[in-house]
Structure 1
Amino acid sequence: MTDSHSSWGMRGGFWPVLNRIVTAIVWLGIQMYWGGQAIKIILGAVIGPKFAYMENTLPKSANLDTASLISFFIFIVIFLPILVLPPERLQTPFRITFIMITCTMFGILGWAVSAAHGPGILIHAPSSKYGSALSWSAVFGLQSFVGAQASGCLGQSDWTRYARTPNAALFGQLIAAPICICVTAICGILITSAAATIYGKYLWNPFELLLTIQHESLSPGARAGTFFAGLGFLESQLALCIVLNCVSSGMDLAALCPKWINIRRGSYLLSLIAIAICPWNYVTKPTTFITVLSGWSVFLSPMTGIIVSDYFLVRKQEYHIGDLYTGNSTSAYWYIAGFNFRGFAAWVMGLWPLLPGFARAVQGVLAGNGWDHLYDISYFYGFFVAMLVYWAQHAVFPSERQTGSSPFVLSDRAVMLKPEGSRESSHDVDAFSV
């Protein structure tokens, strides 16, 4: 939030926060839906196909079957009480979740490769595209991957604040996270390839794979395997809903309305909205899901570029800390009426050339023209263009106290800290400087 204040202004800083909240709502809804699918797998293993493949009483336009709807609300009932727990008490549950989902992933990989007697047909399949079409598809896949992780990266600071030392999060962010992401992607490819050999179709979604296993085999081993795999995915989805969405965006929502909303209330409000948007509509078709994932980078990547530019290029890694919490014209980050026009201009310049391609992608009419290729590199384009435009504006039109640093002093905010009738001197208050 403070980074947004310095780059967007004390009032303008609420705009990127609001965008991040909207992103979190969509992601929360999607993760809740997958959590419901994990419940469906567990109940399908316990009850049998009578539940997982019960008669669907919903119309086709609902984009959801009866069993999935029941499972979705069961997940909600399990998930909502967990939000009562304070974030600092979730370390041990998260460690257990990491162990469970890791065992689940490698367990499915071992089963798939063993049952297919190898890595499967996908590994040896020839490319369906050649030349520039193949190159642009590869670039789009890379930027889609980066864009899908962008929301998680933006929420890291909400959790690193609980670290004991400033550098405690470096190992996880620089080493562990990239390795885990790459290993997970490789396992997903191998599992899909092996499953295609077994079932004759590509099942990229692990939930669909487990449901297919239940549908094809009623053996005790298959039911037990899918039960424990579903349990691992259930724990994973609970953790994702909390870490990436509810708590992080609950903090942002509390920053927007601190008088009425705290982190817990914000988490519950976001959960209700995520349910109301009917998230299954976003994942009905794989192409729609991919478009949703990559589409958010159109809006988020310029914001990320602006924050990076502000901290490294413009401020030289220094801030006037007290001014980040001063909501009037005396703040170095007040700019014009609380808005920094440089941030908004950089965001627009990084955004508008991507909108034609984004609109064509949503409509499913991409034809490989210039706008479409620009959309293929949307995250990289938005990030670097916004970063450079923001830096150039501050170089040409520097703001007051643009560089330098100053500590956070509480003397100007003593009225918020002194109890009624207290007569502390200004010297006593100044002692609370950072």
Structure 2
Amino acid sequence: MPSQISKARVQHWSKRLECPVDENANYENTYWCNRDLIPIPPDRRTWTWQGYAGYWIITGANNSAWMAGSTLISLGLSVSQSMGVIVGSSLIIAIIAIVAGWMGSHDYLGFTVMSRASWGMIGGFWPVLNRIMTACIWMGIQTYWGGQAIKIVLGAVIGPKYAFMSNTLPASANVDTCSLVSFFIFLVVFFPCLFVPPEKLQMPLRIAFIMIVCNIFGMLIWAVRTAGGAGSLMSTGPTESGSMLSWNTVYGIQAILGLWSGGIVGQSDWTRYAKTQNASIFGQGVTAPLTIIITALCGVIITSATYEIYGQYFWNPFELLLHVQSVSMTPAARAGTFFSGLAFLASQLALCIILNGISTGMDMAALCPRWINIRRGCVVLTIIAVAVCPWNYVNSASTFITVLSGWSIFLSGMTGILISDYFLVRKRQLHVGDMYLGNSSSAYWYTYGVNWRAVVAWAMSIWPLLPGFVRRVQGTANGNGWDHCYDLSYFFGFFMAVFVHWGLHAAFPAKKQTGQSPFVMELHRGEMIEGHQPSYESSSNHDGEAVIIGEKNV
């Protein structure tokens, strides 16, 4: 009897904790499906071109773009050469973002579900887990910098009493008391943002990107005016020459691509909310490269100008503002750092939501759709981000950061497989209902749930890069063949995965490799859950969307 009571309680709470289901929904929560994994219905497609323009202003105008110049200059490039690399890299980022986002804006499916088509129903967990792992660390790092924005804002409001409070933590903690307190204040501010649905984020993002743009140009005007010019760094020539300079230029392109590799592979997570099929293209094709280029250029000019003011280079804008407060607490300095810190706070809130929270929340939803949706996934991600103590990675452990920034060697192959599978193998035709069938009746079950073709393609895209990757992490790279192969890492991994995946599918075709069928509608929910494969006769309504007009069990 007690065991029966316990079992009943477990079933009761299991049912109560299931993800909410929309009223009159055409789906049910299963081990493969919930509200956030189904093709986005028309009433939730609310994003316009302005929303995507704002998305890319926030994504492009961040610390990574601001400090891109420092990465390239440290490789021996001049400022003009560095900007040339950034222009070329940002255009490549725009092209890949458009292509990777196409499946979202046309089939309304995100990266998580699309991975099932290319990797298999079970194999699709592998790229998802890769993104989750990296996102947990990046989320922690971004929340830490959000804490630094809080530190700047409160330091401007409260004054030295807060900004320079005595540190009670040991040096081994890798964080001071004020930064730790600010970090947790940021989490309190950030946590309610997790409960805003993705389709309702456009207005908050518009406010954020207006603040970000004003802040960048405001800091630029202040720095140049105070320094009396752009500074001497702008006219400094390259410190490398010959083949070393050429290979460092190539590696610089890979480094810039790597910074956005996680965001562009998951573009469909956001383009699936597009109100029209081409709504995202302006943001991806114009706003993305323009924002990255302008932010990087402003970052270089501000760093160069402030060197003339303070006698040292501050590549990180947070460190620059904190230094301003440390040398001056005049009303003008406090007002300037307050508004600038407020803009960076808005930037960090938006970055944590759109680059880490929502996308990774959907990835986590794929692990357990019945009980995890985007909102709950975001909460889990935030908890893990706190648990990893991100200040250890920001203030020390440079080797770990090198590993994290080089993770693009794994993501480039996954991007290639995703694009190859959708455009070349399937020719943009999907059996959407099969993406929610976890048995051999699914077109995407392959061999025990895993598409071995994708596994081989991914392995072939990374193994030649691993020796150079390890040597780069260990600091032993000396320009041999393995090192130069790694210098080409993103391009090599991407194109190798594209052609190997395509070639293997051409040589060993899979079941239902082409052809299409719509998402399983309400009348077929029982069939989907029980694992039977329905067949359809379909046509299109006046909006061009598939409508089932007949059915039969197979």
> TM over 0.5, yes or no?
yes
Q: Offset of 1:23 from its aligned partner?
A: 1.7
Q: Pick the aligned partner of 2:502 from 368, 376, 391.
A: 391
Q: Which moved more, 1:194-203 or 1:34-43?
A: 194-203
- Out of 480, 487, 512, the residue aligned to residue 401 of structure 1 is 512
Task: Tell me whether 1:355 sits opposite 2:466 in the alignment.
Answer: yes
Determine the structure 1 residue equivalent to 2:25.
none
Equivalent pair of 1:29/1:274 in contact (CA under 8 Å): yes
Counterparts of 1:240-279 in structure 2 under 5 Å? 240-279=351-390
Percent identity reads 62
How far 1:286 sits from its partner (Å)?
Answer: 9.7
Query: Aligned residue for 1:189?
Result: 300
Q: How many residues align?
A: 426
- Corresponding residue to 2:288 among 170, 177, 186: 177
CA-to-aligned-CA distance 1:190-233 (integer Å, 9 cap, x gap): 11111122222221100011111111222211111011000000
Match of residue 210, structure 1, among 300, 321, 345: 321
* Structure 1 residue aligned with 2:131: 20
Aligned to 1:145: 256
Q: Distance in 1 between matches of 2:457 and 2:471?
A: 23
Residues in 1 aligned to 2:269 and 2:402: alpha-carbon distance in whole angstroms = 27
User: Partner of 1:301 in structure 2?
Assistant: 412
Is 2:112 the partner of 1:11? no
Question: In structure 2, do the counterparts of structure 1 residues 51 and 246 end up closer, same or farther at CA, with 3 Å as the change threshold?
Answer: same
Q: Which residue of 2 aligns with 1:317?
A: 428
Partner of 1:421: none
Aligned partners of 1:355 and 1:9: how far apart in 2?
25
Q: Does the Cα contact within 8 Å between 1:214 and 1:223 map onto a contact in 2?
A: yes
Whether contact under 8 Å (1:143, 1:294) holds in the other structure is no
Matched, 1:56 2:167: yes
1:46-195 equivalent positions in 2, closer than 5 A: 46-195=157-306
1:332 shift after superposition: 1.9
Instruction: Assess if the C-alpha contact under 8 Å between 1:9 and 1:340 holds in 2.
Output: yes
Return the letter of the residue paired with 2:243: S
Q: 1:126, CA displacement in angstroms?
A: 2.1
* Paired AA for residue 159 in structure 1: W
Is 1:340 the counterpart of 2:438? The answer is no
Please identify, of 26-35 and 401-410, the stretch whose mean Cα deviation from structure 2 is larger: 401-410
Residue type of the partner of 1:71? Answer: S
Deviation at 1:186, TM superposition (A): 1.1
| Equivalent in the alignment of 1:38 | 149
Q: Report how far residue 55 of structure 1 moved.
A: 2.8
What amino acid maps onto 1:190 in structure 2?
Answer: I
**2:265 touches 2:411 (CA, 8 Å); kept in 1?**
no
CA contact (8 A) 2:220 2:302 kept: yes
Gapped regions of structure 2 (runs ≥ 5): 1-111, 530-535, 538-546
String of CA shifts for 1:393-421, please: whole Å, max 9, x gaps: 11222222222333345488342799xxx
After superposition, give the CA deviation of every residue in 1:64-108 in whole Å (9 maximum; x if it has no partner). 122111111110111112212222222111100000011011101
Comparing 387-396 with 104-113, greater Cα deviation is found at 387-396
| Amino acid corresponding to residue 202 of structure 2 in structure 1 | Q
CA distance, structure 2, for counterparts of residue 343 and residue 49 of structure 1: 57
Deviating runs (4+, > 6 A) in structure 1?
none
Q: Is the 8 A contact 1:31 1:241 kept in 2?
A: yes
The 8 Å contact of residues 410 and 462 in structure 2, kept in 1 or not, is answered as: yes
How far apart, CA to CA, are the structure 2 residues paired with 1:201 and 1:7? 50
SS in 2 for 1:400: coil
Q: Secondary structure at the match of 2:406?
A: helix
User: What is the distance in 1 between the residues matched to 2:420 and 2:528?
Assistant: 35
Distance 1:192 1:338, change over 3 A: same
The separation in 1 between residues aligned to 2:434 and 2:373, in whole angstroms, is 23
How big is each residue's C-alpha offset from its partner over 1:109-144, in whole Å with a ceiling of 9 and x where there is no partner? Answer: 111111111111111112221112212222222111
Structure 1, gaps ≥5 residues long: 419-425
* Partner in structure 2 of residue 198 of structure 1: 309
Aligned to 1:422: none
SS at match of 1:283: helix
Give the SS at the match of 1:300.
helix
Report if the CA contact (8 A) 2:520-2:528 is conserved: no
Matching residue's letter, 2:381: L
Preserved CA contact (<8 Å) 2:231 2:301: yes
Given residue 482 of structure 2, which amino acid in structure 1 is its aligned partner?
W
Q: Structure 1 residues 125 and 399, CA, compared in 2 at 3 Å: closer, same or farther?
A: same
CA drift at 1:324? 2.3
* Larger deviation, residues 297-306 vs 112-121: 112-121
CA contact (8 A) 1:112 1:195 kept: yes
8 A contact 2:431–2:443 mirrored in 1 = yes
- Over 3 Å counting, the alpha-carbon distance change for 1:80 and 1:286 in structure 2 is same
Whole-Å Cα distance in 2 between the matches of residues 257 and 127 of structure 1? Answer: 52
Contact 2:303 2:313 in 1 (8 A): yes
Q: Is the 8 A contact 2:436 2:528 kept in 1?
A: no
* Alpha-carbon spacing, 1:90–1:411, altered in 2? closer, same or farther (3 Å): closer
Cα distance in 1, alignment partners of residues 307 and 460 from structure 2 = 44
Compute the RMSD of aligned alpha carbons: 2.4
**Distance in 1 between the 2:245 and 2:381 partners?**
40
In the alignment, which residue of structure 2 is the partner of 1:413? Answer: 524
